Amino acid sequence: MEIVPDTSVIIDGRVSERAGDEFAGVTVLIPEAVVGELEAQANDGRETGWEGLEELQRLVELDEGGTLTVEYVGRRPDALEKREAGEGEIDALIRDVAAERDATLVTSDEVQAEVARSKGFAVTFIEPEVRDVTELAIEEYFDEQTMSVHLKVGVRPMAKRGAIGEMAYQEIGEDVLTEADVREYAADIEEAVRHSAEGFVELDEPGMTIVQFRTYRIAIARPPFSDGVEITAVRPIVKTDLDDYEHADELRDRLREQHRGVLIAGSPGAGKSTFAQAVAEFLVDAGQAVKTMEKPRDLQVGPEVTQYTELGGEMAKTADSLLMVRPDYTIYDEVRKTDDFEVFADMRLAGVGMIGVVHATRAIDALQRLIGRVELGLIPQVVDTVVYIEAGEVTKVYDVTTEVKVPEGLMEDDLARPVILIRDFETGKAEYEIYTFNRQVVTVPLDESDGDDSGVDRIAKKEIEREIRSVAHGHVEVDIRGSNTAVVWVEEGDISSVIGTGGGQISDIEDRLGISIDVRTFAERPDDGPGSESPTATGGKTVTPEVTSQHVILPLGGHEGDTVEVQANGEYLFTATVSRGGEIQVSRGSAIAEELEKAIDRGKEITVVPS
């Protein structure tokens, strides 16, 4: 009797364990396709490859002992077939061997067995092993306050331990781990996931395997993806419900009254996912249909919540599927990339309640990540609530709305525009405004306690400088004198170009910015006024220009990348950025070069000062 085992039974060692029984005296035809697949897995550092190769060695030993006969047959798979093993290319080569030799196919793969039967092959199906795995070996490193364990070849075992917000990364073992140690832990994890109904493989790529086993999310990294074999196991250490958080009653009412767009923000380890899990359980209890979108899937939610991952490698396809399912709320864990924000926005605009988990160091930063990814006017429709988590506590909740109004700090009625208002959920006080100012999207803080200038003043000053510099050649400074008034200081020679014929130029700028601008020369500035230091003051670095056939070169080693003003006897000439080579090059024949050369010819001292 001849049998053809496929990769599944070779990895599980199911042939050698039956060698003294039903497979005694048989000829085992081992397809080269199986050998090639196992070799590829072993080269990628996957334990299944090593286990399969060990089974092949056991079969050779049984052959030498006369228990059975081993024969290698068929052809090796090419690179494309190995890459597409998951598409059935290797299985097809194995079936070809069984067909050519009229042998019995032995498999633990249900799909392989059904395909072979449909083609008329003799098939021996061995039920996959399902074992009750009581505990992973890596669990010995966990205690009640351990959030994650980190095991790497050549390093002592490490862990993150402590209360939420007070985690410390610390050594938890005295002995440096060897490669054999870490591989043994990895083999135990992969075997448990393969044979237990409580685990599944989330990602399996060359160099990285991510599995979920019970409450543990475990990543196994191998060279060349990592510089050494490393295992990182993470689990939640706290389970909460919404009552454990501040503003619980208000948030319940807010989520119940209508479908919302919510961003849960915070720094890594702050407790964002724990809060998201609490929200999920509340929504289920409130009679809402809840799904999740996660990669990897690690939210600890009840069986009523179906957890989805990428479909065909794209969350957009997952979203398309969920729109057919029509959940009341979807929790999108880890909204990071532009594609994630776009998917989140599309689902929210389709009417699905969305709760996204976002990394951010401030509550406002979470909302700003939507700018440029979602049309500005749609942001309040996509996200109307921001919940900021810090050290496991809700420390800030924002209500996001939009109004057509004159932005705070601007006065003219004709400057009214759509403004996104970000209000403190508890007090109702507006803390930020987001709007388009002079064709740019700006986020303006309304709390002026952080500095001398308000957020509006800083934005206005920047925009005025930009507008004036576009028509002036020399130095420009701006003083904000009131909510809608500014003084601009320019060089004497720039007055006419900045004001324009009949004041037309400055009037156009005033109309665009909605600010009254008084243009003055630096000579008019009072000595004790704000910013009274003259832009032409000396005290900069003196340089000796080099005049070549094509350039005037100013050597400025040590100032690479700096923006500086070039002056002659303290009089402003131009502003430039020092090159990576530590110099400023001005092309001869240009107006700037001519002024510079005149100054050199007249023996003026050439200096540079920081701009």
Q: Each residue of 74-129: pLDDT tens digit?
A: 888 877 766 655 567 888 899 999 999 999 999 999 999 999 999 999 999 998 87
Confidence grade of residue 447 (pLDDT, cut at 50, 70, 90): low
Contacts of 276 (CB under 8 A, 6+ apart): 264, 299, 331, 333, 355, 357
* pLDDT for the residue 530: 40
Kindly tell me the burial class for residue 73, based on how many C-beta atoms sit within 10 Å of its own C-beta (0-12, 13-18, 19 or more).
middle
Backbone angles phi, psi at 294, to 5 degrees: -145, 145
End-to-end CA distance of the chain: 88
Question: Higher confidence at residue 206 or residue 283?
Answer: 283
Mean of pLDDT values over 500-513: 84
> Among 43-57, 273-287, 353-367, 563-577, where is mean pLDDT lowest?
563-577
Tell me the C-alpha to C-alpha distance, in Å, between residue 525 and each of 93, 231, 487, 529: 87, 66, 10, 7
- Quick one: what percent of the chain has pLDDT higher than 70? 91
The pLDDT-based confidence of 527 (bands split at 50, 70, 90) is low
Q: What is the pLDDT of residue 455?
A: 55
Say if residue 45's pLDDT is above 80: no
Please list, in sequence order, all residues whose beta carbon lies within 8 angstroms of the beta carbon of residue 88, skipping any fewer than 6 positions away: 111, 115
Q: In this predicted structure, what is the pLDDT of residue 557?
A: 82
Q: Is the pLDDT of residue 274 over 70?
A: yes
Question: CA dist 232 to 138, 184, 522, Å?
Answer: 10, 14, 63
Is the pLDDT score of 495 beyond 80? yes
* Distance from C-alpha of 467 to C-alpha of 490, rounded to nearest angstrom: 13
Separation between Cα atoms, residue 21 and residue 1, nearest integer Å: 14
CA distance 390 to 217: 23
Average pLDDT over residues 18-25: 88
Query: What does the buried/exposed string (b/e) look like for 50-71 if buried means 16 or more CB atoms within 10 Å of the residue's CB?
Result: bbbbebbeebeebbeeebbebe
pLDDT at 176 over 90: yes
What pLDDT sits at residue 130? 66
CA distance 108 to 131: 15
Dihedral pair phi/psi, residue 513, rounded to 5°: -95, -15
State both tokens at 27. 């000829």
pLDDT at 83: 64
Q: How far apart are CA 378 and CA 420, in angstroms?
A: 10
Does residue 413 have a pLDDT over 60? yes
Q: For residue 283, is pLDDT > 70?
A: yes
The pLDDT of residue 567 is above 60 = yes
- Mean pLDDT rounded to a whole number for the chain: 86
- Tokens in use for 68? 């059975």
Q: How far apart are CA 608 and CA 538, in angstroms?
A: 9
Reported confidence tier of residue 529, pLDDT bands at 50, 70, 90? very low
What is the torsional sign of CA 423, 425, 426, 428? Answer: positive
Mean pLDDT of 152-158: 95
Report H helices in 369-520.
379-382, 455-469, 495-499, 504-513
Two tokens, residue 4: 């053809």
Q: Which amino acid is at 575?
A: T
Per-residue pLDDT at 136: 92
Tokens representing 324 are 């057919």
State residue 267's pLDDT score.
Answer: 86
pLDDT in tens, 450-493: 444 555 566 677 778 888 888 888 888 888 876 677 888 888 88
Worst-scoring range by mean pLDDT, 185-189, 228-232, 323-327, 534-538? 534-538
Q: Is the pLDDT score of 230 beyond 90?
A: yes
Q: What is the spatial distance between Cα 318 and Cα 228, in angstroms, rounded to a whole number?
A: 34
* pLDDT of res. 396: 93
Give yes or no for a contact between 146 and 173, defined as CB atoms under 8 angstroms apart: no
In this prediction, residue 535 has a pLDDT band, given cuts at 50, 70 and 90, of very low
Enclosing H/E stretch for 48: helix 47-64
Tell me how far CA of residue 41 lies from CA of 44, 50, 77, 129, in angstroms.
5, 8, 13, 21
